[in-house]
């Protein structure tokens, strides 16, 4: 008995030591991995840290930081933290929870409300110029606002398109000027391409699922708004995941018939993008920010085309506005000890000069339509595919959906799995793995989401009237 107790205590001590070592390793890794190293001559300057991620490349942001460090007058120095893109959100959340978050940070759109809920944003209401307020729509100003106070403004946006390899189309006997318009077309064309390329390790379609955002948001939920499908029904004030059944069924069929690039469940988005650049993928859903990486970093030299995402079927095409995604959204840590320097750098990043420069280089598309009109990107006028990703009349931002938090936890506790969308994405992953019924799992997830929503309404943490719109129209979701 004593021996068993000793082993039990020893096991507990070992686990505890490993946990401590892991936390220390995590912190030391984040603390030392910076893109901007403070020169010896500038060690007297105040240092502010900045974590950034976009759906494309960080190269242009690094250039902006270097230029700022060389010319800024406020005696501060910006260090950019390197966080791998596939782990960005989880790592940032851990840093913020531990009280060691950066002074400024970019937040992906589906976490904005949570960060306001956690009071992790600094109030910037008094630091946003009148010129900026005039330049942005009411939606953009409200997006990062809470209780009448402004915490962040999305100054860039991302669009989603289907990219396709014209050379693989030609080799498969397909018309390169007639890309797929529906899911049925996508499946048929991907199958033909894969069958024609047997033995060449080239496939009709790639669906990378190692990162939930790219696999299930960018490649499914966002594109299917074009077919009038949304996970939240703004008219009824209820969640409904059942609309994704045709997509899931099609993907599973493509995986079985060999038209899907293999290893999708563990494939990272960067890997899929590289395979597309090498000409090994017939079709892939891409964002506007990917164009910069494809044309400047991945040496893409294939003949490729760009078209709107495939609709569920011909009848549902254009049933809804294709969703525009606000990114990047940059905020200041409410706990920063370098408030003045952080605000100065935040204002620099949101200046017209910087936004114009990023747009002209194809690194982002400005939210401000005036900037897009006054300073048209040179890439829009050239052969760059960046021109094919410009927002159209068939696209729009959408109202914010309710953010669901498990009502059994206290506001001081933070666990990503407590938030509604994480379990939703887990349900999608179970379906994609082939271990769960498509229909039953989506129905079960719909029920779970609505139970959480009802609980939040009863507790008073969500006012459903703020999300319901009796006249909501997915073709004009903002009604502006």
Q: What is the pLDDT of residues 235-245, one digit of tens each?
A: 999 999 999 99
Whether pLDDT at 420 is above 60: no
Strands, DSSP E only, in 355-421? 365-366, 395-396
- Which pLDDT belongs to residue 173? 98
**Could you read off the pLDDT of 196-233 as tens digits, one per residue?**
999 899 999 999 999 888 999 999 999 999 999 999 99
**What are the angstrom distances between the C-alpha of 176 and each of 283, 317, 384, 420?**
12, 20, 18, 41
Selected residue with higher pLDDT from 405 and 201: 201
- Which pLDDT belongs to residue 74? 63
**Strands 238-239 and 325-326, how do they pair?**
unpaired
**Placement of tokens 């407590």 in the chain:** 418
Q: Which one, of 31, 106, 45, lies nearest residue 74 by Cα? A: 45
- Which pLDDT belongs to residue 414? 46
**Calpha distance 141→342 (Å, rounded):** 20
**What are the angstrom distances between the C-alpha of 418 and each of 60, 61, 411, 413, 452?**
35, 32, 11, 10, 11
Selected residue with higher pLDDT from 323 and 113: 323
C-beta atoms surrounding 460 within 10 Å? 7
Q: Give all domains of the chain, ordered by start, each with its CATH number.
A: 43-158+325-387 (3.40.190.10), 172-321+391-480 (3.40.190.10)
Type and span of the H or E element at 212: helix 212-212
Q: Which one, of 233, 235, 205, lies nearest residue 220 by Cα? A: 205
**Calpha distance 247→116 (Å, rounded):** 33
- Which pLDDT belongs to residue 234? 96
Type and span of the H or E element at 7: helix 2-32
**Strands 203-205 and 395-396, how do they pair?**
unpaired
Under the banding of pLDDT at 50, 70 and 90, the label for residue 6 is very low
**Could you read off the pLDDT of 131-158 as tens digits, one per residue?**
788 888 888 888 889 888 999 999 899 9
Whether pLDDT at 4 is above 50: no
- Which pLDDT belongs to residue 322? 98
Instruction: Read off the pLDDT of each residue in 458-478 and give the average, rounded to a whole number.
Output: 92
Whether pLDDT at 183 is above 90: yes
The model's pTM = 0.87
Whether pLDDT at 292 is above 50: yes
User: Cα-flanking dihedrals φ and ψ of residue 379, to 5°?
Assistant: -65, -25
Whether pLDDT at 40 is above 90: no
- C-beta separation of 160 from 222 below 8 A: yes
Instruction: Read off the pLDDT of each residue in 51-57 and give the average, rounded to a whole number.
Output: 74
Q: What residues have CB less than 8 Å from 386, skipping those under 6 apart?
A: 288, 291, 292, 295, 362, 377, 379, 380
């Amino acid at each position: 008995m004593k021996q068993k107790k000793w082993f039990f205590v020893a096991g507990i001590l070992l686990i505890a030591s490993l946990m401590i070592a892991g936390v220390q390793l995590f912190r030391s890794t984040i603390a030392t991995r910076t893109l901007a190293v403070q020169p010896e001559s500038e060690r007297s300057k105040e240092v502010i840290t900045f974590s950034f991620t976009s759906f494309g490349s960080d190269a242009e942001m690094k250039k902006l930081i270097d230029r700022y460090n060389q010319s800024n007058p406020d005696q501060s120095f910006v260090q950019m933290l390197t966080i791998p893109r596939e782990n960005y959100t989880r790592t940032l959340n851990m840093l913020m929870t531990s009280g060691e978050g950066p002074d400024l940070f970019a937040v992906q759109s589906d976490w904005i409300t949570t960060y306001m809920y956690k009071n992790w944003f600094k109030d910037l209401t008094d630091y946003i110029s009148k010129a900026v307020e005039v330049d942005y729509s009411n939606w953009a100003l409200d997006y990062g606002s809470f209780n009448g106070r402004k915490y962040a403004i999305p100054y860039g946006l991302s669009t989603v398109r289907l990219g396709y390899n014209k050379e693989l189309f030609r080799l498969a006997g397909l018309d390169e000027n007639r890309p797929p318009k529906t899911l049925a077309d996508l499946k048929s064309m991907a199958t033909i391409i894969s069958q024609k390329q047997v033995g060449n390790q080239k496939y009709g379609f790639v669906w990378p699922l190692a990162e939930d955002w790219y696999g299930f948001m960018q490649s499914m939920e966002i594109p299917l708004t074009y077919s009038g499908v949304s996970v939240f029904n703004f008219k009824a004030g209820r969640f409904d995941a059942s609309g994704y059944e045709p997509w899931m069924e099609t993907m599973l069929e493509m995986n079985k018939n060999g038209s899907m690039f293999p290893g999708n469940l563990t494939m990272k988005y960067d890997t899929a993008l590289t395979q597309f650049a090498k000409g090994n993928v017939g079709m892939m859903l891409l964002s506007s920010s990917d164009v910069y990486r494809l044309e400047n970093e991945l040496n893409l030299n294939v003949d490729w085309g760009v078209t709107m995402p495939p609709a569920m079927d011909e009848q549902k095409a254009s049933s809804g506005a294709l969703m525009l995604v606000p990114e990047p959204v940059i905020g200041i840590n409410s706990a920063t000890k370098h408030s003045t320097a952080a605000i100065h750098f935040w204002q620099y990043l949101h200046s017209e000069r910087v936004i114009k420069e990023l747009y002209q280089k194809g690194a982002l598309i400005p939210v401000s339509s005036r900037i897009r009109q006054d300073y048209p990107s040179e890439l829009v006028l050239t052969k760059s595919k960046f021109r094919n990703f410009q927002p159209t009349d068939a696209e729009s931002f959408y109202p914010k959906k309710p953010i669901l938090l498990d009502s059994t936890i206290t506001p001081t506790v933070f666990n990503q799995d407590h938030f509604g969308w994480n379990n939703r994405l887990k349900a999608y992953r179970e379906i994609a793995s082939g271990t769960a019924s498509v229909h039953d799992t989506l129905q079960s997830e719909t029920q779970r989401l609505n139970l959480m929503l009802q609980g939040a309404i009863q507790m008073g943490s969500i006012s459903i009237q703020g999300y319901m719109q009796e006249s909501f129209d997915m073709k004009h979701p903002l009604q502006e």
